[in-house]
Amino acid sequence: MKRPDQREMRTLPVLEERRRELETCVFCPKLCRSACPVSNAEPREALTPWGKMSLAYFVAHGDVGLEPSTTDTAWACTGCYACRERCDHRNEVGPTLLDARNAQRKKGHAPFGATRVLNTFDRHNRATEEAIRELNYHKSVRRDADTAVLVGCSYARAAIPEARDVVTAAAVLAGEEVCLSESCCGLPLLLAGDQDRFSAHAKQFRKSVEVKKRIVVHDAGCAMALRVHYPRAGVVLSQPVELLVEHAARAVTRLSHVPLKANETVRYHDPCQLGRGLGVYEAPRAVLGRILGEPPKEFDDNRQKGMCSGAGGLLPSTMPEVAKEITVQRLSDHVELGGGRIVTACASSLLAFRTRTELPIDDIATWIARSLEASRV
Ligand code: SF4
Ligand code: SF4
């Protein structure tokens, strides 16, 4: 909150609620600068966490004008939380920049990529609904089942075999048929900078699942939306939101060993939203360890220090070349460590990696489904 001796945020007064986070960065020696995948890929001071927060601060106060060079930087963030891990204050840069996006867009200042996401969201949501309806033919789906599975729009539309694996795994773990939530969680609206539409969409989503006893979600971004961003937008779901990988970890003794081919290796990539976002590091490793019969290989930077895939925060829409550079860097780290198969647990990372390499990239849902099916034989 503002002290009497502090200047007003006359251009973006709504950011007053983020004064502490903004000032913490503005007056900081930038201990986190090497953590940011965006400024590492495109080394510009304005793209460091400090630079992005400082620009949002100066825009809010009216010290600099609203123009692309001062406002687009709020969208130059994958929301990976890596800066928070290096920060003595554990400052929430990503969420603060989400608020800056919203405030700046309301003043008519958002990059083209974000505006396009907002303009096409309704079409995107309808396409997601159609894709999910196709999955309703899955043998484990019954529309009046108690458990609703949120498959995730990127899986449903662009990783269909993995979407089926999510449904298979969720149903086998639940021990009964499941139904599918047909809507997108609405996260693109939040990331693009429209918190009012995100909140309205979240309310619709809540209504669509109100009679269900539980919700199972697999995609790390969707899980963050339901568990963290919905409550922050004032939308609290009445039923528990369970992560598929956590359920699998609790039921780890039900997972069968699925042997790798000779000389084949699997390395686990921590999705930022699952790891630093939700604090889920060990469940996927326990699951993979059980299925593979040995712990998965690791990146040098893993768990809290894991590097981003470049696919989050709408960066592929707002800064596609930078997003690509971040993805390529992560893949290059993998190759330097010996390559092999990457397994991850987020559709954005899965698809970004697959676009940039011929190496095999899997989703952990595939391994869980394969293992559970093997257990039933
Ligand atoms: S996130 Fe922390 S370390 Fe980084 S600039 Fe802000 S206050 Fe400094
Ligand atoms: S959350 Fe990630 S991408 Fe965003 S400023 Fe921090 S380190 Fe950079």
The finding on whether 371 has its CB within 6 A of some atom of ligand 2 is no
Look at residue 6 and tell me if it is in a domain: no
Look at residue 2 and tell me if it is in a domain: no
Phi and psi, residue 203, nearest 5°: -65, -40
* pTM, 2 dp: 0.96
The finding on whether 77 has its CB within 6 A of some atom of ligand 1 is no
Pocket perturbation via mutation, ligand 1, pick of 38, 91, 92, 96 by most ligand atoms within 8 A of CB: 91
**Residue 282 shares a structural domain with residue 235:** no
The finding on whether 280 has its CB within 6 A of some atom of ligand 2 is no
**Residue 128 shares a structural domain with residue 215:** yes
Q: Which residues of 54-79 are buried (b: 16+ CB within 10 A; e: fewer)?
A: bbbbbbbbeebeeeeebbbbbbbbbb
**Residue 39 shares a structural domain with residue 78:** yes
**Residue 123 shares a structural domain with residue 217:** yes
Q: Where are the alpha helices (DSSP H) in the chain?
A: 19-26, 37-41, 49-61, 68-71, 82-86, 93-106, 112-119, 121-135, 153-158, 160-174, 187-192, 195-208, 220-224, 230-232, 244-250, 282-292, 315-318, 320-336, 347-356, 364-376
State the pLDDT at residue 114. 98
From 215, 244, 273, the end of a domain falls on 244
**Positions of the chain with pLDDT under 50:** none
Q: What is the CATH number of the domain that holds 200?
A: 3.40.50
Placement of tokens 């996927």 in the chain: 284
* Residue 266, beta-bridge partner list: 341
Q: What percentage of residues in the chain have a pLDDT greater than 70?
A: 98
Look at residue 236 and tell me if it is in a domain: yes
Look at residue 4 and tell me if it is in a domain: no
What are the structure tokens assigned to 375, written together?
A: 């257990």
Look at residue 1 and tell me if it is in a domain: no
Look at residue 7 and tell me if it is in a domain: no
**Residue 294 shares a structural domain with residue 368:** yes
Look at residue 8 and tell me if it is in a domain: no
Q: Is-contact 101 14, C-beta < 8 A?
A: no
How far apart are the CA of 298 and the centre of ligand 2, in A?
22
**Residue 197 shares a structural domain with residue 212:** yes
Using CA positions, which residue lies closest to atom 3 of ligand 2? 77
Number of domains in the chain: 3
Q: Is-contact 276 85, C-beta < 8 A?
A: yes
**Residue 223 shares a structural domain with residue 122:** yes
Return the ligand 1 atom nearest residue 24 CA. Answer: 7
From 65, 85, 110, the end of a domain falls on 110
State the pLDDT at residue 1. 59
How far apart are the CA of 83 and the centre of ligand 2, in A?
6
Look at residue 340 and tell me if it is in a domain: yes
Q: Which domain covers residue 364, as residue numbers? A: 250-376
State the pLDDT at residue 183. 87
**Residue 122 shares a structural domain with residue 184:** yes
- Coil/strand/helix, residue 122: helix
- pLDDT tens string 353-370: 999 999 999 999 999 999
